[in-house]
Every structure is written in structure tokens, then in C-alpha cells.
Amino acid sequence: MNRLPLSTVKKSGGENPVYLTVHKNGKWLINGNYTEGSVSVYPISEGGKIEPHVQNFQFSEGSVDVKRQNRAHIHSTVFSPNYDYLFLPDLGADKIRAYQFKNENAQPLQEAKTAFTKNNLRKRTETFYVSSKWKICLLY
């Protein structure tokens, strides 16, 4: 059986890691944690080693319907096609969180205006349709 060697182990910065994404330049790893509703940003060294996280965002906001969701639940961490924004569908808060990505900064994520979404749509998974400017988010 072929196996990849375990090269780096890092704490996720939250509970129940659910999604990983790497910036196109290979220098940044973004991790989303479902249960705690958090996101961590890790630099990746020239040799491919994952360094300690330089940013960690803990979201606590729940849904407008607190009986359904009383805290944040990040489902994925998705870069825009040109990698200058990061989007975080948050099932718990019923929104898609948005961050501008500044590759040259030591802490590359800066909060941007949250994408407009209707309440109670249960944002989960998203992707960009490559041949257009449209963003697709799978709703449950």
C-alpha cells in the first residue's frame, strides 16, 4: 500500500477540522473547524513544512433561529478564482463570511463585507464556476 509520510502535525485551532485549502502560491494553508466555528491560517515554508498558525478567527454568532443553530459552524474555506478573497460558508450563522487575502502580509486575512445571503438557507459547501464570475453555494 502506498502511503504519504507524515511530515507536519499542527493543532487545528478549533474543534473538528472539516476543510483544508492551500493558496495557489503554495505558501499558505487555511483550515476550517466545524464545531467551534473557527478558521486558522498557517504559513508553509519553502521545504513544505507547515508553520504555526499566524491567524485564528473564532466565530460565536449563531443563526437568527437559535433553536436551529446557536453557534457558528464553518463548513469550508474556499478561495476566489484569483485567490484574493477567502469565503467561509457558516451554517450556524446563516451567512458566507468573506475575507480579503493579502499574500504579502504576515497575517494575510482581512475581514471584508459579508456576502449577502438570506437567513435560514443553511450555507454549507461552495465553489466557483471557473468559466464565469458566479459563485455557487450548496444550500440544505
Mean pLDDT, the chain cut into blocks of 10 residues (140 residues total): 67 85 94 90 91 92 66 85 89 84 96 66 50 50
Domain ranges of the chain: 17-139
Set of cell numbers at residue 68: 436551529
Residue 116: what pLDDT?
55
Is the separation of the CB atoms in 124 and 105 below 8 Å? no
Q: How far apart are CA 59 and CA 71, in angstroms?
A: 8
Where do the H-state alpha helices sit in 12-112?
Answer: none
Q: pLDDT digit string (tens) for 92-123? A: 777 888 899 999 999 999 988 766 555 555 54
DSSP letter for 69, please.
Answer: -
CA distance 87 to 114: 9
The number of CA neighbours under 13 Å toward the Cβ of 75 is 18
Domain 17-139: which CATH number of 3.20.20.105, 2.130.10.10, 2.102.10.10, 2.60.40.10: 2.130.10.10
Angle at 39 between CA 46 and CA 73, to 5 degrees: 150
How much is the pTM? 0.78
